[in-house]
Structure 1
Amino acid sequence: MIRSESIEKRSFPHIELTAGLIVTGGGLSGICCAITAARQGLKVVLVQDRSVLGGNASSEIRLWILGATSHMGNNNRWAREGGVIDEILVENMYRNPEGNPVILDSILLDKVIAEHNITLLLNTTVYEAEKQHNSITSLKAYCSQNQTEYHLKAPLFCDASGDGVVGFLAGAAFRMGAEPTEEFNELFAPTVAYGELLGHSLYFYTKDTGKSVRFVPPSFALMDITQIPKFRSFNSQEYGCKLWWIEYGGRMDTVHDTEKIKWELWKIVYGVWNHIKNSGNFPEADTLTLEWVGMIPGKRESRRFEGSYILKQQDVIEQRTHDDAVAFGGWSLDLHPSDGIYSAQPGCTQWHSKGIYQIPFRCLYSRNIDNLFLAGRIISASHVAFGSSRVMATSAYVSQASGMAAVLCTQLGCKPAALYENGQISTLQQLLTRSGQHIPGVLSKDEQDLVQQAAITASSELVLASLEEDTAPQPLDIAVAQMIPVNAGKLPSFSLHAYSDVPTTLQAEIRTCSRTGSYTPDTTIATFEFALQPGKNCIPLTTDAAIDDTQYVFILLHKNPLVKVSRSDKRITGILSVFNTINPAVSNYGKQVAPDGIGIDSFEFWCAQRRPAGQNIALRLEQPLQSFGPANIRNGLARPTTQPNAWVADLNDPEPSLTLAWTTPQQLKKLIFSFDTDFDHPMESVLMQHPENVMPLCVRDYAIFDDKGNKVYEKKGNYQTRNEIDFPETVITSCLTIKTAHPSTNTPAAIFEIRCFA
């Protein structure tokens, strides 16, 4: 028993922690930054002011994690983010395909506490920053649960707090609200009438109890639902972040007015539920109950901090290149009316670019606080560009670069800006690609990778002569295109079968993308028109046209419901079909038609379909495609770009294997494998139905043998993109043989990358 009668003034316990990096904010951005740094040996303190990790993705808010893939509603092929955020999404897909946000909480916590270099402080709020000159020396924080004060010291700090609490307290330059058009010549910069900020949202979940449930609204509920211009859009089936447009606060201070905004959102949510339950318009809601309402709102926009470079609309739309690129984005320019749910305007105005865009390192550190990294949605961006870079998967992706940059700064004994100013960006880029970060336009050139000196052979490699007709012909209810990687030069010839019950016409094209490395088929290089007769018709697609660069071509068949074309059940790495589909969730109506004068491109959308749909078109290639050789595993790319960039085995090979051979024995301590977990699949974390919990292209089982035939490692049931193998004892061998198994009878084994280290 503890008993005290002291009349002296008491104080809370005080703990001092010292680390190499202090990361403030435990959302996905802070998590990915901290894990990235910790895995490279840096001691990290991760400070989170909530009880759970995940920020807007957590069970407290329940927003789905999205980034460049944009619900598969844009032309960004193979664009899911890599590294730690990919690892999290793939893990969640495996453990939690149902999208339970509570399970995601546990996965995020699991990932953080597994890193022995991370000290995690939950329920801990930073309230003061101490400085010397232009550097932060320490932070003061307080934990509400253990009544303890923390004094956090480090040479480097990263603000991933969303509202930029560390940057604000330290005096870092920041902005709030929209810049005028003339400041950055951004033609899409919003007018005064359109508003200043994106607001907050707060969601609710429902549950069917199987019996009649009544609802008595609280006194603060919005009783006149007609105050909401779109009140007729509410229904009994949609809940959670599908109601993202329950948004408010864009005309307020989205930091200091958050509690006021929350109360207005509660008023709206309970008013909406009262309308659904008690208006009489939704009899199917009789057995539904309100299972959960958010206690804190999900924030979109507040402070944006200034770095050495400010990302702009032109960077996004024109896909401008930067020599210091460390990440990419691909969400649309997604701006919302500042009146939110009370606005008569659409809930958002989304304009897509033709492909993903680079994000430069200069956006990831403060321009006037010299040891402060920026992470997440607060990075250096204009209001317009922020409309794209703000989404969670993109925010987490750039934060991995901040974490790796902190490691490099520690190794070199320098401040963040010095990495750019002193020519260390290529080193940073190589560290990031080694950790699984894909940077558009950047090849991995790892001098320590022993695979670069190895002779590589394979038991087989796929030579693609055809995609067999193994399904019943399907009508061309929508236009479809088959993507095929083709080398520079004259185009090969293709052929396919079209079926019809009546005489009709099939129109076809061969297209490419005007921007190398993107996948918007906006350049037609050949057109065809075929008069079809009833029955089976052979369709030759032959042209003398040539292409200047190695890239994907689109074999495009226009819509005609009278025509049927067979599909192939074969799923092959780097081979994909796309469709001229509509996805209103991301403002995709088949074609983007941009008004003049806003600096946005007009183009068609050609999107992949979610499995089990989206089969490849059955066709034949006059010259078999030889793009899947074993040398691809060391070409510096670990996902499809202009080529598949993978070794793919022949599907008839009973035991596909790769062999790496050296002229002298090597002392091997570490291997890294990159497998195909379908970078086209967005893996939304909540509310979406996913067709499987393991991606069908992923190699599940493999074993590794040395030059004497000894098995040195075996993996069963793999589902992750990257496998990092640290041998407990050094393996001395002059060759390694990796024996794999095909994922299925319709999918050949594939490996994007192998790296070996002494």
Structure 2
Amino acid sequence: MIRSASTEKRSCPLVTLEAGLIVTGGGMSGICCAITAAREGLEVVLVQDRSVLGGNASSEVRLWILGATSHMGNNNRWAREGGVIDEILVENMYRNPEGNPVILDAILLDKVVAEPNITLLLNTAVYEVEKSGNTITALKAFCSQNQTEYKLKAPLFCDASGDGVVGFLSGAAFRMGAEPMEEFNELFAPPESYGELLGHSLYFYSKDTGRPVKFVPPAFALTDITAIPRFRHFNAQDYGCKLWWIEYGGRMDTVYDTEKIKWELWKIVYGVWNHIKNSGEFPEAETLTLEWVGMIPGKRESRRFEGDYILRQQDVIEQRVHEDAVAFGGWSLDLHPSDGVYADQPGCTQWHSKGIYQIPYRCLYAGNISNLFLAGRIISVSHVAFGSSRVMATSAYVAQAAGMAAVLCTQLGCAPAALYRDGHLPALQQWLMRSGQFIPGIIANDTTDLVQDATIVASSELFLSVLTADTAPAPLDIAVAQLLPLQPGVIPAFSLHAYSEVPAVLQIEIRICSRNGSYTPDVTLATYDCTIQPGRNCIQLEPEVEIDQAQYVFIILHKNPLVSISRSAQRITGILSVFNTINPAVSNYGKQSAPDNIGIDSFEFWVAQRRPAGQNLAFRLKEPLQVFGPANIRNGIARPTTQPNAWVADPDDPSPALTLSWKTIKHIKKLILSFDTDFDHPMESVLMSHPEHVMVFCVRDYAIYDDKGNKVFEKKGNYQTRNSIAFHEAVSTTSLTFRFTHPSAHTPAAVFEIRVYENN
């Protein structure tokens, strides 16, 4: 028993923690930063002011994690982010294809607590920063649940808190609101600076109970639903983050007015639900009940901090090259009206770029605080560029680079800015790619990787000359294009079969992209008008055009519903069909027609379709594609870009295998294998369900043997992109043989990358 009658002032316990890196904010950015650094041996304290991890992705907010893939609604092919954020999304797909946000909470917690180098503090809010000059020495934080105060000391800090609490308290330079057009010559920026921001959103979930349910609204619910200009577009089917447009607060202080904004959003949510339940306009809602309403709003914008470079509109739209690139983005320039749900304008304005863009390292640290990394939506970007970089998968991807940079700073004993100033960015880029980060335009060059000096022998390789017509022909209700990875030279002759019941004309085009490495087919090389007779037609084309560099070529079959084309059930790594279709969720209406004065490109959208749709065209090539050889596993690129960048086995090979051999004995401690988990699939983390829990291209089973035929490792049921294998005792051998199983009868085994190391 404890009993105290003292009236003296008391204080809460103080716990001091020291680490190599303190990460503030347990959203997706903070999680990925902390895990990246911890896996490289850095002691990390992760401080989260909520009871769950995930931030806007958590069950408290329930927004799906998205980035450059943009719901598969843009021209960014194979653009899902890599590294830790990819690992999390693939894991969620496997465990949680139904998109249950509570399951995602558990997955995120599981990932963090599995790292022995991370100390996790939940329900703990940072409230004070201690400094020496322009250097942070410690943070003070308080946990409301155990009434404990913490002092967190480290040489390096990362602010991934969303609102930038550490940056703000430390005196880091920041901005709020839009810059004027003239500051960065951004044509999409306003003529004059203004303070309005993107607002907050609050979601709700409904559930069908199977019996009539009445709803009595709270007194604070919005009564005049016509105050929301889009009220005529309400429906009873939308819930969760499909209600992103329930937004408010853009004309307020999105930090200090958050509680006021939340109350207005509650007023709107309960008013919307009252209208759906009680207006009589939605009889289908009779059996629906309100299952969940968010308790905290999802924030979009508040502070943006100034680094040594401020990313701007031209970087996004023109895909400008930066020598210090460490990540990429690809979401649209997505800005919202300041009045949110009360605005007369559309809920958002989304302008897409023709491809993904680089994000430079100089955006990832505070320019005037010597040891503060920036991660998440607070990085150094203009308001216009922020419209793209702010989304969660992009934010998390950037945070991985910050986490790895902290490791390199620790090893070199330097401050964040010195990595760029003193020429250490190539090392950081190589470390990132070793961890699974894809950086457009950068090729891995790891001199410690034994595969670079190995002799590689494959049991077979795919020479693609035909995709078999094994499914019923489908009408050309929309235009379709087959992407083919070709080498420089004359485009090979090809043939396909078309069907029609009446005479018709099928127009076929051969196009390439004006920006090599992107997937916007805006340059036409040849056009053919093919006469189609009733019945089966064999179309044979022999292009007399050349390409001067390795790239994907688009064989486009234009829309003609009178004509049907044979399709193939075969799915092959690096081979893809795309369609000139629409996706209103991301402002894709088949073509982007931008005004002349905003600095945005106009172009067509050619997008992939989600399985089971999106089949390849059935075709035959006069000369087979020879782009799937075993040397691809060490070419330094672990996803399709201008080529498949994968070894793909012959589908008829009963036991596909790769053998790596060396002239001398190697003492192998670590292996990394990279497989195809379909980087085109956005893997939305919540709300949406998915047809698969394992990607169709992914190798599930494999085994590894030494030079004596001993099995040194075996994996059954793989579903992850990257498999990292550490041996407790070194494997001493002159060769390693990897034997794989084909994922299915329709999909041959493929490997993007194998790395072999003598050290962990």
Superposition TM-score tier, normalisation by shorter sequence: over 0.9
SS at match of 2:68: coil
- Structure 2: distance between partners of 1:665 and 1:611: 45
TM-score, length of structure 1 as denominator length: 0.99
- Structure 2: distance between partners of 1:60 and 1:382: 29
Deviations 1:649-681 (A, max 9, x none): 000000100000000110000000000000000
- Structure 2: distance between partners of 1:157 and 1:163: 15
- Structure 1: distance between partners of 2:176 and 2:597: 25
2:69 touches 2:77 (CA, 8 Å); kept in 1? yes
Structure 1 partner of 2:397: 397
Deviations 1:194-238 (A, max 9, x none): 972100000000011111111111010001100000011111110
- Structure 2: distance between partners of 1:249 and 1:334: 17
What is the Cα deviation at residue 190 of structure 1? 3.2
Structure 1 partner of 2:101: 101
What is the Cα deviation at residue 156 of structure 1? 0.3
Structure 2 partner of 1:468: 468
* Structure 1, unaligned runs of 5 or more: none
Structure 2 partner of 1:635: 635
Structure 2 partner of 1:458: 458
1:321 touches 1:358 (CA, 8 Å); kept in 2? yes
Q: Which amino acid aligns with 1:95?
A: R
Deviations 1:541-569 (A, max 9, x none): 22221111100000000000000100010
Q: Which amino acid aligns with 1:440?
A: P
1:195 touches 1:337 (CA, 8 Å); kept in 2? no
1:213 touches 1:287 (CA, 8 Å); kept in 2? yes
Structure 2 partner of 1:267: 267
- Structure 2: distance between partners of 1:276 and 1:261: 23
- Structure 1: distance between partners of 2:346 and 2:748: 45
Q: Which amino acid aligns with 1:736?
A: L
Q: Which amino acid aligns with 2:261?
A: I
Percent identity over the alignment is 79
Structure 1 partner of 2:531: 531
Counterpart check, 1:92 vs 2:92: yes
Q: Which amino acid aligns with 1:269?
A: V
Counterpart check, 1:520 vs 2:520: yes
Structure 2 partner of 1:288: 288
2:176 touches 2:195 (CA, 8 Å); kept in 1? no
Structure 2 partner of 1:679: 679
Q: Which amino acid aligns with 2:21?
A: L
Structure 1 partner of 2:205: 205
Deviations 1:52-77 (A, max 9, x none): 00000000000000000000000000
Structure 2 partner of 1:323: 323
SS at match of 1:589: coil
CA, structure 1 residues 195+613, in 2 after alignment: closer, same or farther (shift >3 Å)? farther
- Structure 1: distance between partners of 2:131 and 2:189: 36
- Structure 1: distance between partners of 2:669 and 2:343: 60
Alignment of 1:122-161 (within 5 A): 122-161=122-161
Deviations 1:498-531 (A, max 9, x none): 1111111000000000001000000000110111
- Structure 2: distance between partners of 1:540 and 1:552: 20
Report which stretch shifted further, 333-342 or 496-505.
496-505
CA, structure 1 residues 195+411, in 2 after alignment: closer, same or farther (shift >3 Å)? closer
Q: Which amino acid aligns with 1:459?
A: S
SS at match of 1:280: coil
Structure 2 partner of 1:77: 77
Deviations 1:400-431 (A, max 9, x none): 00000000000000000000000000000000
- Structure 1: distance between partners of 2:514 and 2:304: 33
Q: Which amino acid aligns with 2:651?
A: L
What is the Cα deviation at residue 689 of structure 1? 2.4
Report which stretch shifted further, 606-615 or 539-548.
539-548
Q: Which amino acid aligns with 1:228?
A: I
Counterpart check, 1:707 vs 2:710: no
What is the Cα deviation at residue 7 of structure 1? 2.7
Alignment of 1:491-570 (within 5 A): 491-570=491-570
What is the Cα deviation at residue 284 of structure 1? 1.1
- Structure 1: distance between partners of 2:388 and 2:214: 42
Counterpart check, 1:408 vs 2:408: yes
Q: Which amino acid aligns with 1:588?
A: N
1:194 touches 1:337 (CA, 8 Å); kept in 2? no
- Structure 2: distance between partners of 1:286 and 1:47: 44
- Structure 2: distance between partners of 1:273 and 1:468: 51
Report which stretch shifted further, 394-403 or 527-536.
527-536
2:671 touches 2:755 (CA, 8 Å); kept in 1? yes
SS at match of 2:747: coil
Q: Which amino acid aligns with 1:445?
A: N
SS at match of 1:157: strand
**Considering only aligned residues, what root-mean-square deviation do their CA atoms show, in Å?**
0.8
- Structure 1: distance between partners of 2:6 and 2:523: 82
Structure 1 partner of 2:740: 740
- Structure 1: distance between partners of 2:192 and 2:410: 44
- Structure 2: distance between partners of 1:241 and 1:134: 40
- Structure 2: distance between partners of 1:395 and 1:190: 25
2:15 touches 2:151 (CA, 8 Å); kept in 1? yes
Q: Which amino acid aligns with 1:610?
A: R
Give the count of matched residue pairs: 758
What is the Cα deviation at residue 8 of structure 1? 2.3
Structure 1 partner of 2:655: 655
SS at match of 1:516: coil
Report which stretch shifted further, 281-290 or 137-146.
281-290
- Structure 2: distance between partners of 1:8 and 1:201: 45
Alignment of 1:431-442 (within 5 A): 431-442=431-442
CA, structure 1 residues 193+368, in 2 after alignment: closer, same or farther (shift >3 Å)? closer
Structure 2 partner of 1:186: 186
What is the Cα deviation at residue 691 of structure 1? 1.3
Structure 1 partner of 2:354: 354
CA, structure 1 residues 349+522, in 2 after alignment: closer, same or farther (shift >3 Å)? same
What is the Cα deviation at residue 2 of structure 1? 1.7
SS at match of 1:566: strand
What is the Cα deviation at residue 254 of structure 1? 0.3
